[in-house]
Amino acid sequence: MKRYLVLEDGNIYSGQAFGADTNAFGELVFSTGMSGYQESITDQSYNGEILMFTFPLIGNYGINRDDYESITPTCKGVVVHELARRSSNWRMDLSLDDYLKQNNIPGISGIDTRAVTRHIRSKGALKAVLVDEITDTTVSDLKKASLPKDEVATSTTSKPYSVPAIGKKIVLVDFGLKLSILRELSARNCNIVVLPADSSAEDVLSHDPDGVMLSNGPGDPKDVPTALDMIRGVEKEVPLFGICLGHQLFALANGANTFKMKFGHRGFNHPVRELATGRIDFTSQNHGYAVDRDSLKDTELEVTHEEINDQTVEGIKHKIYPAFSVQYHPDAAPGPHDADYLFDRFIQMIDENKEKGKVSHD
């Protein structure tokens, strides 16, 4: 069956329908990853977006029960060049086509995704729809449509929950977290309490945490103003580590600014340099907003990492408090694990803060 990808600038691409038999509306974004489509589709950072893969063949190893980054995917649609006719992998439970049907997400294949990607890189991020029929008002209606601003509210957990262990107590504030963050903390025997995005500093500190993590998540960080007071109240009490959206919120809470990028960073091959050491990590990234470097000048924050290709800010730390953040995903999943040492650095920061507290108390 025919399906169409329509962009707000009037460009129309014809392809074949797969997945759910429904229309989709969202911002069209592209990922340059060669694998990891299951993790990407289930990443809550894609909430409200139509996800396009530049790698030409998608779906060849199906969907399995181990690689989910969230239980309920919230991306709006999937765009591929070629959908694998037959999926095969010993871990596979179902095909990508069947998975999208189960979750009411439409897909389109037969699209020259690299050509569309070049178009987005030239024009910038664009609103788009997936439709089975084009009318006289399809493009004009698309131009008038507004993108949602409640992505975090529809991605976060509605209730607190715990992932118990015998180690350090970590409160993880969920703005749309990836399960791989929980896996990395659990691998370090952390006793984790996950709280909703609208939690206050009092809520967080009532759990007497050794450290606090701010998770990744979707959308514009300026659409989550309630998190800023929470961060300001927490960072002066316990060590804090922010990832992706958590990084942007940490910056905003301390007086910096963020901006929307032309087409964002989405993929698993972004080189990042640590300024203090010159160390270069290849990183997994998924974001359409970034921290404004110039806005950091009058704050208590300093840049620790930058993206080599475009020099965007990829990491910051507080000059006074034991708090830092990175724009990329040290948990990877999918992607390289070059930066997973940052979880160890967070644990070390907690130990050092406890030791400092003992010395001060003595």
CA dihedral 68, 73, 214, 283 (to 10 degrees): 60
To the question of whether residue 335 is assigned a binding role by annotation, the answer is no
Within 10 angstroms of residue 72's Cβ, the number of other Cβ atoms is: 10
Cβ contacts of 137 within 8 Å, gap of 6 or more: none
329 belongs to the catalytic site:
yes
Amino acid at 142: L
| Catalytic status, residue 287 | no
Taking Cα atoms as reference points, which of 216, 221, 208 lies closest to residue 241? 216
Catalytic hit among 43, 97, 174, 331: 331
Rounded-to-integer distance, Cα 342 and Cα 278, Å:
15
| Catalytic entry in 81, 247, 287, 329 | 329
245 belongs to an annotated ligand binding site: yes
45 is in an annotated binding site: yes
Residue 288 among known ligand-binding residues? yes
Is 289 assigned a ligand-binding role in the annotation? yes
- Catalytic annotation, pick one of 244, 265, 270, 287: 244
The DSSP H or E segment spanning 161 is strand 161-163
Q: For residues 196 and 183, is the Cβ–Cβ distance under 8 A?
A: no
Element (H, E) at 203: helix 201-205
Q: In whole angstroms, what is the distance from residue 328 CA to residue 285 CA?
A: 5
The three-class DSSP label of residue 221 is helix
248 is in an annotated binding site: yes
**What DSSP string runs through 152-181?**
TTTTS-SS-EEE--SS-EEEEE-SS--HHH
Residue in 281, 299, 282, 280 with CA at minimum distance from that of residue 291: 299
Please name every residue paired with 50 in a beta bridge, in sequence order, or none if there are none.
Answer: 28, 77
Told to judge if 331 belongs to the known catalytic residues of this protein, a careful annotator would answer: yes
Binding-site residues, in ranges, read: 45, 217, 219, 245, 248, 286, 288-289
Active site residues: 244, 329, 331
Binding-site residues for L-glutamine, in ranges, read: 45, 217, 219, 245, 248, 286, 288-289
